[in-house]
Structure 1
Amino acid sequence: MRDKMSALIVVLHLSLMIVPIFWSSGCRQRIEPESQSPTLKLTLALQPSPTSGLIAIADERGFFKNRGVEVKIGLYPSGLDSLKAVMRGEAQLATVADIAFAGKMFEDPSLRIIASIGATVGNQVVARRDRSIQQPSDLKGKRIGYSPGTSSHYFLHAFLLTNHVSRNEITTVAIPPEKQVESVVTGEVDAVSAFDVYAFDIERRLGKNALSWDSQNNLDYQWLLAARENATRSPEAIKRFLGALVMAEAFILKNGDEAKAIISRKWDIDPGYVSHSWHQTRLFVSFNRSIITSLRNYVRWEIQRKGKTEDPPDVLNYLHTAALKEIDPRLVTIFR
């Protein structure tokens, strides 16, 4: 019964998750460069990855300065770690996957989503061929690493269901995101459910000994901008921040190659990986209804895996659409 419920959750998610992406610059309200005084300050925690590309562009091209906001950026190994920094009061904003955000909704009701700033596929299950693994069914009896509470965790769950491998038939090993590469390269685990950026590095280091499968089944997860409620009570800095990201989106549409170079340089990411991930990463500023769909599905999964008995939180209470709506109402397609 439990496996059937898990399968239903994944199927619902696969069938309902549709991310509307508007690439035409004609769909965007022009954000005129302007300099406000005084300059406002924000602290931001993020995982350096192509999904945080709008922020790299806005910072390097001077769009934050242009909009009158000074952004202090702290780097973290995952979106979950970035969100935890906000929860500890170390930063005002964080970039985080919708999956990780859903897991923390139970813990901190003051969390708020400010916008979606991208979507991506690319998470992989990467295995070592020398551990007698040639196909997903060979994972039975093996040690598989994952990072709890992150997209690595959820997509391992979905991958096992899709390939008819029971959780009881494997040994799961919890590892921090920053150890995903070393855990499988050193042989601590036989396979790992890895973020795309780490999967790319694993495949590079293991060479022909690496075997990988797409664990997302072409299902996007959204990269969100999140804060605590108290940060939204004085929203001017957040509005300026979002305005700069809209300018960055317009820049990317016209300057793709330069944008890739900036992201690679800013986050110190292998240019080969940025090019590899470019076709599966979409950078945009929006507040779309699919955020609600994905959060509800992830919350159901969270309740199931932790055996919670309380009612699920109302995801609508975690959405702060006002700031983006003031920038451009057309970017908000959630109507209460």
Structure 2
Amino acid sequence: MHFGIRFYLLASLLIGAATATLYFFKGHLYSRAEPLPLEKLVLATPRIPFSSLVILAKHNNLFAKHGLEVQLEITATGKEALEMTLAGKADIAAVATLPLAYIVTRSAQPRILAVIAKSNYEHSVVARRDRGISQPADLQDKTIGFLPGTSAQFYLEALLTNANLARNKVHMKSITIQDSQSALLSGDVDAVALFAPWDKRAAQALGESGIVFAPSLHTTHWTLTSNQNFPITRPRVAEKLLLALLDALTLIGENHEASLDILAQEMEMSRADLDESWEQYTFDVQLPQALITTLERELLWIRSHGNVPSGELTPVAPLPDFLDYLSFSALQSVKPSAVRITR
């Protein structure tokens, strides 16, 4: 009799425990099945071919696939995107290396997460034939519009050096990217140093009276850059961002024509213009050794020429170790083979 009671009590306890366990796991599994809220991210970028992976990932909901709600803040230049990011108005900037070299000399603390594109032909100088310009050497004594603190300025001075023209042999005039075409058409400047797609638009506007100089003089690396805290405080977001861009890279390879149609529409370029320039770009998500070389070369140029944006002091500090301005963790986590920098 006592055995029967004990058996009944034991069976009741086991059934109760099993039921409680079932409810626990059922609730646990249910909570995991609920979609997690998307993590918000503000990414500042110009709408140019360099940012093709970003634009394509946004259009095809690849950020959302990896749990991100990405807001694109469209800027005129990468320099503007970087300024927004360091001011706390964006989390990530899509920016070339030259603006990074500038701000590093002023004690700023950016962190480069990855290089997402590079090109040897991103820049050009668009000039007016009717001002007697048919070759780069003819730029002597001419007024040339430039974008202060951008890679286009670096390219302009590389072009002048290649043509054996000292800076004091030309008249440099600071302009904005928005005013570049009108300044050229009105004759306010004789030539202007630009990047895609602005250079193509200016050349097309000039028609037969225009000429374009675009020799390969420098490799431009296009980066994703944050402030120094972002990789530490939001490491998983950084990883998800890179995963989405790796998906965009795969998408371009698998659906090339459809991808270019989307990009041409998003960047307000003709498909013919995009096709013409597309082969000039190399897209990837990586941290290459050449990135360090490029940053050092650009910083040496800044130091030797005193080329700083208007109102800022010429940097005099020793050359920094650019490894300190790279964040390896996110890329190392999602694609270790893409980290190609010797540390």
Same fold, TM-score > 0.5, yes or no: yes
Instruction: Tell me the distance in 2 between the aligned counterparts of 1:130 and 1:313.
Output: 45
The equivalent of 1:213 in structure 2 is 213
Does the residue aligned with 2:94 lie in a helix, a strand or coil? strand
The whole-number CA distance in structure 2 between the counterparts of 1:177 and 1:132 is 24
Q: Supply the AA of the counterpart residue of 1:100.
A: P
Contact conserved, 1:264 with 1:271, CA < 8 A, in 2? yes
Q: Does 1:70 align with 2:77?
A: no
Q: How many positions carry a matched residue from both structures?
A: 301
Question: What secondary structure does 1:177 align onto?
Answer: coil
Q: Is the 8 A contact 2:122 2:195 kept in 1?
A: yes
After superposition, the Cα gap between the structure-2 partners of 1:264 and 1:36, relative to the gap in structure 1 and judged at 3 Å, is: farther
> Does 2:51 correspond to 1:52?
yes
Q: Amino acid of the residue matched to residue 156 of structure 2?
A: L
What secondary structure, in the 3-state scheme, does the structure 2 residue paired with 1:287 have?
A: strand
How far off its partner does 1:202 sit?
1.0
Counterpart Cα distance in 2 of 1:108 and 1:84: 14
In the TM superposition, residue 215 of structure 1 has moved relative to its aligned partner by 4.8
2:230 is matched with: 231
Q: Hey, what's the Cα distance between the residues in 2 that align with 1:183 and 1:312?
A: 36
Counterpart of 2:288 in 1: which secondary structure?
Answer: coil
User: Is the 1:99–1:295 contact (alpha carbons within 8 Å) kept by the matching residues of 2?
Assistant: yes
CA contact (8 A) 1:110 1:318 kept: yes
Instruction: Describe how 1:144-155 pairs up with structure 2 within 5 A.
Output: 144-155=144-155
The answer to whether the 8 Å contact 1:49/1:269 transfers is no
1:87 aligns with 2:86: yes
Q: How far 1:279 sits from its partner (Å)?
A: 1.0
Amino acid in the other structure paired with 2:334: I
Q: Which residue of 2 aligns with 1:39?
A: 38
For 1:278, the equivalent position in structure 2 comes to: 278
Judge conservation of contact 1:96–1:226 (CA < 8 Å) in 2.
Answer: yes
Task: For 1:284 and 1:214, locate their aligned partners in 2 and report how far apart those are by CA, in whole Å.
Answer: 23
Q: Is the 2:46–2:77 Cα contact (8 Å) retained in structure 1?
A: yes
Maintained 8 Å contact 1:69/1:241? yes
- Structure 1 counterpart of 2:242, one-letter code: L
Q: Does 1:333 align with 2:340?
A: yes
Q: Which string of whole-angstrom CA distances, capped at 9 and with x for unpartnered residues, describes residues 65-93 of structure 1? A: 11111100000111101101111111000
| Aligned residue in 2 for 1:301 | 301
Q: Contact 1:36–1:68 (CA<8 Å) still a contact in 2?
A: no
Q: Kindly provide the amino acid, as one letter, of the partner of residue 321 in structure 1.
A: F
Whether the 8 Å CA contact 1:158–1:215 is kept in 2: the answer is no
**How far off its partner does 1:205 sit?**
0.7
Structure 1 runs of 4+ aligned residues shifted over 4 Å read none
**CA drift at 1:36:** 7.2
Structure-2 residue corresponding to 1:8:
none
Q: 1:220: how far off?
A: 2.3
User: 1:134 maps to which residue?
Assistant: 134
Q: Any conservation in 2 of the 1:239–1:324 contact (CA below 8 Å)?
A: yes
- Specify the SS of the correspondent of 1:43: strand
Distance 2:83 2:273 in 1: 27
* TM-score normalised to structure 2 length: 0.85
Give the Cα–Cα distance (whole angstroms) in 2 for the partners of residues 46 and 108 of structure 1: 23
1:314 corresponds to:
321
Distance 1:191 1:286 in 2: 35
Which fold has the larger relative contact order, with Cα–Cα distance below 8 Å and residues 6 or more apart in sequence?
A: 1
1:243 maps to 2:250:
no
1:138 maps to a residue whose letter is: D
Larger-gyration structure (1/2): 2
1:216-262 deviations in whole A, cap 9, x for unaligned?
A: 43x32111000001111121111101100001101111211111111
d(CA) in 2 for partners of 1:259 and 1:240? 21
| One-letter amino acid of the structure 2 residue matched with residue 87 of structure 1 | L
Query: Residue 248 of structure 2 aligns to a residue in which SS?
Result: helix
Distance 1:196-1:266 versus aligned 2 partners, 3 A rule: closer
8 Å Cα contact 1:112/1:227 also seen in 2: yes
The aligned counterpart of 1:156 is 156
User: Aligned residue for 2:116?
Assistant: 117
2:99 maps to 100
Q: Which amino acid aligns with 1:141?
A: D
Q: 1:59 deviation in Å?
A: 1.2
Determine the C-alpha separation between the residues in 2 that align with 1:261 and 1:62: 16
1:101 to partner: Cα distance = 1.4
Amino acid at match of 2:252: I
1:179-198 aligned within 5 A: 179-198=179-198
Mark the runs of 5 or more structure 2 residues left unpaired by the alignment. 1-33, 307-313
Task: Give the distance between the partners of 1:267 and 1:235, measured in 2 at CA.
Answer: 30
The 3-state SS of whatever aligns with 2:299 is: helix
CA contact (8 A) 1:159 1:216 kept: no
Indicate the RMSD between aligned Cα atoms, in angstroms. 1.5
Stretches of structure 1 lacking an aligned partner (at least 5 in a row): 1-34
CA contact (8 A) 2:49 2:196 kept: no
Query: 1:151-199: per-residue Cα shift (whole Å, max 9, x none)?
Result: 1110111000101111111110011122222211221100111113111
